[in-house]
Structure 1
Amino acid sequence: MAFHYPSSMLPSKIAILALFLLLIFLYFLSTFLRPNNQTKHPQKRPPGPLGLPIIGHFHLLGKLPHRSLYSLSKKYGPMMSLRLGQIPTIVVSSPELTKLFLKTLDPKFANRPKVQVTDLIFYGSKGMAFGEYSPYWCDMRKLCNQHVLGAPKIALFGPLRKQELALMVKSLQKDAKLGEVVNVGEKVHGLMKEIVYKMIFGRSNDDEFDLEGLVSQALNLVGEFNLADYVPWLGAFDLQGITRRAKEIGEALDKALEKIVREHEEEASNAQKEGHHRDFIDILLSLMNQPLEDGQEHGMERENIKAIALDVILGSYDTAIVAIEWAFTELLRNPRVMKKLQHELETIVGMDKMVEEADIPKLNYLHMVVKETLRLRTVGPFIIRETLEDVTVNGYYIKKKTRILVNLWAMGQNPTLWSDNVEEFYPERFLNNDVNISGNDFQLTPFGSGRRKCPGMLIGLTTVNLVLAQLVHCFNWELPHGMTPCDVDLSETFGLTISRSKPLLAVPTCRVLV
């Protein structure tokens, strides 16, 4: 889940403005009349800039909060105190502190902040991504790790990935013969839609409902700044109309998901008799009627199935598209790296076939390229946690319900960690520095660590590695006529992910004919 920030002004209607001013007055009045216990028992907080009434430090974030917070951390240190609206927030920007918060003190920081939109669209705490930490959440997480997102189940959908990749390669071969300029992001988006939706639902869309459109609307709304998440007492007024929109999207999406689940239930008995599960919904339905395991208090329920399906889309769809597009951006900007990766593919895979998933573990330079992409072009800039209790860290008091933002992007840009060429795309930095990105090396933790580590890490890495390798192996790529590597645009758009602001265009020529 990405960090939210204000991207636009609130509606400017006079009535709303008058109401807002009245609420500000009531806020100050309640603050003035409220007993100030902190002055009686002062506690040391991490350093940070002065905030403003009501908005706190929102005015310091700008359009690219990951960059703004990194700049602030250079002044106030790797453990910085902010206030976002009424929400006390700690920003963490060093591997040592990241390890402390996500591993050493993980039980105290295992919660996720409650977000209004996710309660209305993503079934509240029924899934994994947004659920509050509890025995219920732990049981759901265990079920998913064992039966849905483990290596055997990911391998089960290998033929689907192979089939959809082959179709994309054929489409690109047609473009290559015509000398077409290709929108790389569009091609990858189309591929990922087919893979992810067929893997989860057994289909890429629905005849009755615009499934992809509904999910896209839901993800966009989650990424939209909601004032009520930061000034909770304004939630009842729905000043931005977000609550109304979330209810509408949530109801429509639930109808679509319910239809899909119901159809799967009707087919489930035959599928189970044959020992065959077509997709994730089949697998989740098979868990619904299983007896509880030892130590398990909660079983799979109907709403869990729908919530977890949305979680998997959130964790494996947009993030993979953005990661592949940034990796390809850097390969186009760095022809030396592209040629070196192609040479590895020639040597390991050969020039007479496409890349197979079995080839991926042997492609060491490919793994370096992906790691370097995740370092330099961090897809998800923040890991977000919330304290479950009052705690003291390094002598600083952090009260319950404080929000923790681990700035992954900042650590990827730190020259102390990565040497002076930190802004250069240089995969060889991992040649003698085998950083493990699965959550054990805290200078590069794109999937998080501890109890809330991203459960979709395996499926995400499998897809990113395979798609990137296939694009580079099957085609040579050039920039459109008149462009040089220095002309490739690197501007960012902040949302659920840090994506490219402009389309990535390139011209393919066939390299491996299959």
Structure 2
Amino acid sequence: MISLTSTTMPQWLLIPLVALLPLILILKSKQVRRTNLPPGPSKLPIIGNLHQLGELPFRSLRELSKEYGPIMQLQLGRMPTLVVSSAELASEILKSHDLESCSRPDLKGTRRLSYNFLDIAFGPYTEYWREMRKLTVLELFSVKRVQSFRFIREEEVSEMMSLISKSSSSATPINLNEMFFNLTDEIICRVAFGRSYKGRGFDDGRFGDAIKEAVAILGSFSATDFFPYVGWILDRFTGLHGRQEKCFLEFDHFYQNVIDEHLKNERDGSEQEDIIDVLLKVGQDQKGGGSLSNDHIKGMLMNIFLGAVDTSAVVLAWAMTELAKNPEVMMKLQDEIRSTVRKKGKVVEEDIEQLKFLKMVVKETLRLHSPIPLLIPRETRQHFTIKGYDIYPKTRVLVNVWAIGRDPKYWNKPEEFMPERFMDSSIDFKGTHFMLLPFGAGRRICPGMHMGIATVELTLANLMYAFDWGLPNGMKKEDIDVDETSGLLAHKKSPIYLVPIEQNINLISI
């Protein structure tokens, strides 16, 4: 799909690409010759620099930037691509030239599939997109709206803690990756739909699996991304097109059923207003052509699920991984939480503002392990210049926030997990400090940032308050791997298994 953060092109795809060479050469002959471009590595015929992306593109691109500089021009197939790997240049793109570079590749035309609603989630910069964005920011994920869902987060975290408590007696290691995904899935389902839809809407109750499949598809290699007009042939050949159709048509059917249920008021009247209620109300308040259609609502829901469920779970998994590798940091965090909360029995959201070290731990996790290491690609809308280089329209833009977060120019001992670096520091992740950009910045900053952070902080605080955490038998902290997977999100390659050791919180009086 639209992500350029996917793994490198499978080598066997070179065979059909060679067969398409005549058509590609004809198209290339019509291309306007451009000069004064940023530096970059030499490219191969047809595939350009695709072969240099490697298994983990964000790592490969950082290595290339060491040779060619923090602004590079690559040719990924037929797509001219600008790669930015410094805070200063990220500020140029996301702030100074935000308007010129805030679009997305258009899904219409050569890539039109059955799921029209996905265009709303990832569409180009248009008046239509701006209206949807405004609705998302003001109605769905404002600070006030996020706070109204506090009880959902607290209830679901309490349910998770009860499950962990039952497991702690047997001293069995817990797959925290899976537990975190189930938690965030339940939270977002209740926020969006008003209640859990586990086991509903999908024949085998695999709603969470469907979310994982959708994220995997968006992060997989799609030839159409790199070879417009002809890449769809390869996508059909590899089966990606069929996977896309099956997955998103399944969501289309599910969302329609949920919308119909809301329209028919087939729910418990005691349920709090959810996101579908808000969207339906907005649609009813609007008149004429400006009203929200079902496709609009489906697009908003798809954006929420793809952007919220897996990302929060990924951040939690990395946080617990780093705490397990750094037990002295874990103890310091536990001391802060337990001395603040004492015998209350659990951490609630009103406690979070007092937990300064917790916030440092979350920031440090986001610095080292941005869930989307290469921000979702932008596309330039018009010509502009950066550092004297010409940037032309229809150029893909990749901001390597993973590389920026580990740049020794901005961070002391950048490869080490040191939450204390944020002590007395004003650096934040809200889009104004460009050395820390897990949520992006500018017009395309993640609108669900407040919701995601609230979930991560509450969950992590309760895990540290109620339990100590040990490693499985025979395992040392040095054995914990920190390898990432390829794809749109930087998942931990292998799940983190830890042993919960329940504390008697009634005796906590630090």
TM-score, normalized by length of structure 2? 0.92
* CA distance in structure 2 between the aligned counterparts of 1:7 and 1:385, rounded to whole angstroms: 19
Q: Give the gaps of 5 or more residues in structure 1.
A: none
**1:256 matched residue in structure 2:** 254
Alpha carbons of structure 1 residues 354 and 163: separation in structure 2 relative to 1, 3 Å? same
Aligned mate of 2:20, from 20, 23, 29: 23
> Are 1:416 and 2:409 counterparts?
yes
What is the alpha-carbon root mean square deviation over aligned residues?
Answer: 2.4
Question: Is the counterpart of residue 289 in structure 1 residue 290 in structure 2?
Answer: no
Question: What residue identity is the alignment partner of 2:302?
Answer: L
Which of 62, 65, 73 lines up with 1:73 in the alignment?
65
The equivalences for 1:458-469 within 5 A come to 458-469=450-461
Q: 2:388 aligns with which of 376, 395, 407?
A: 395
Between the aligned partners of 1:199 and 1:358, the Cα distance in structure 2 is: 20
Aligned residue in 2 for 1:506: 498
Q: 1:6 touches 1:58 (CA, 8 Å); kept in 2?
A: no
Instruction: Flag the 1:194–1:270 CA change in 2: closer, same or farther, 3 A.
Output: closer
Structure 1 equivalent of residue 223 of structure 2: 227
Structure 2 letter corresponding to 1:232: P
| Cα separation, 2, equivalents of 1:175 and 1:261 | 37
Report the 3-state secondary structure (helix = DSSP H, G, I; strand = E; otherwise coil) of the residue aligned with 1:179: coil
Does the 8 A contact of 1:93 with 1:411 survive in 2?
A: yes
In 2, Cα distance between equivalents of 1:93 and 1:254: 37
Aligned position for 2:196: 203
Q: Which moved more, 1:231-240 or 1:386-395?
A: 231-240
The one-letter code matched in structure 2 to 1:288 is G
Alignment match, 1:438: 430
For residues 115 and 435 of structure 2, the distance between their equivalents in structure 1, rounded to whole angstroms, comes to 31
| Matched position secondary structure for 1:497 | coil
Q: How big is the shift at 1:21?
A: 3.3
1 CA distance for matches of 2:331 and 2:12? 51
The answer for the alignment partner of 1:186 in structure 2 is 178
Give per-residue Cα distances to partners, 1:333-386, cap 9 Å, x unaligned.
Answer: 011110111111022211332000111111110010000001112211112211
**Structure 2: distance between partners of 1:37 and 1:29:** 13
CA distance in 2 between partners of 1:36 and 1:119 (Å): 24
Name the stretch that deviates more: 171-180 or 438-447: 171-180
Whether 1:63 aligns to 2:64 is: no
Q: Deviations over 1:410-454 (max 9, x none)?
A: 1111111002x1111000001032202100000101111111110
**Cα pair distance change 1:371/1:6, threshold 3 Å:** closer
| Aligned-partner Cα distance in 2 for 1:47–1:186 | 43
Alignment of 1:133-144 (within 5 A): 133-144=125-136
- Per-residue CA deviation, residues 89-117 of structure 1 (Å, 9 max, x unaligned), is 11001111111110111110110123579
Q: Equivalent of 1:331, from 292, 300, 323?
A: 323
The amino acid of 1:345's aligned partner reads: I
In the alignment, the residues of structure 1 paired with residue 372 and residue 154 of structure 2 have an alpha-carbon distance, to the nearest angstrom, of 27
Distance in 1, Cα, partners of 2:191 & 2:134: 20
Once residues 81 and 451 of structure 1 are traced to their aligned partners in structure 2, the CA distance between those partners, rounded to angstroms, is 23
- The worse-fitting range, judged by mean Cα deviation, of 482-491 and 437-446 is 482-491
Cα distance in 2 between the residues matched to 1:139 and 1:30: 35
1:311 alignment partner in structure 2: 303
**In the TM superposition, what is the alpha-carbon distance from 1:398 to its structure 2 partner?**
1.1
User: Residue deviations 1:217-250, cap 9 Å, x none?
Assistant: 2222111110111011323423323223322322
Counterpart of 1:339, as a letter, is M
CA–CA distance in structure 2, aligned partners of residues 208 and 367 of structure 1: 37
CA distance in 2, matches of 1:142, 1:30: 38
Distance 1:28 1:60 in 2: 22
How much has 1:326 moved relative to structure 2?
0.2
Runs (4+) off by over 4 Å: 115-119, 268-271
Equivalence for 1:246: 244
- Residue type at the aligned position of 2:500: P
Q: Which blocks of at least 5 consecutive residues in structure 2 are unaligned? A: none
In structure 2, distance between residues paired with 1:133 and 1:485: 46
What CA deviation, in whole Å up to 9, does each residue of 1:7-32 have, x standing for no partner? 563767xxx94x5433113323554x
The equivalent residue for 2:10 is: 9
TM-score, L = length of structure 1 = 0.91
User: Residue by residue, what CA displacement relative to the aligned partner does 1:256-314 show, whole Å, maximum 9, x if unpaired?
Assistant: 1111110011118996xx9x74421112111111136xxx9844221111111111111
AA partner of residue 76 (structure 2):
L
Q: Tell me, yes or no, if the aligned pair for 2:334 and 2:464 is still in contact at 8 Å.
A: yes
Residue identity in the other structure for 2:226: Y
Q: 1:399 to 1:163 in 2, by over 3 A?
A: same
Corresponding residue SS for 1:444: coil
Counterparts of 1:141-220 in structure 2 under 5 Å? 141-201=133-193, 202-209=195-202, 210=205, 211-220=207-216
Give, in whole Å, the separation in 2 of the partners of 1:8 and 1:386. 21
Say whether the 8 Å CA contact 2:223–2:232 is kept in structure 1.
no
Alignment partner of 2:172: what SS? coil
- Tell me which amino acid in the other structure corresponds to 1:205: K
| C-alpha distance in 1 between matches for 2:389 and 2:114 | 36
Q: Give, in angstroms, the shift of residue 163 of structure 1.
A: 1.3
State the secondary structure of the residue aligned to 1:43: coil
Distance 1:423 1:121 in 2: 44
CA spacing shift, 1:132–1:423, aligned 2, 3 Å? same
Tell me how far 1:513 sits from its aligned partner: 4.3
How many residues are aligned here?
497
Q: Which amino acid aligns with 1:228?
A: T
Cα distance in structure 2, aligned partners of 1:435 and 1:208: 43
Question: How has the CA–CA distance of structure 1 residues 481 and 397 changed in structure 2, closer, same or farther, with 3 Å as cutoff?
Answer: same
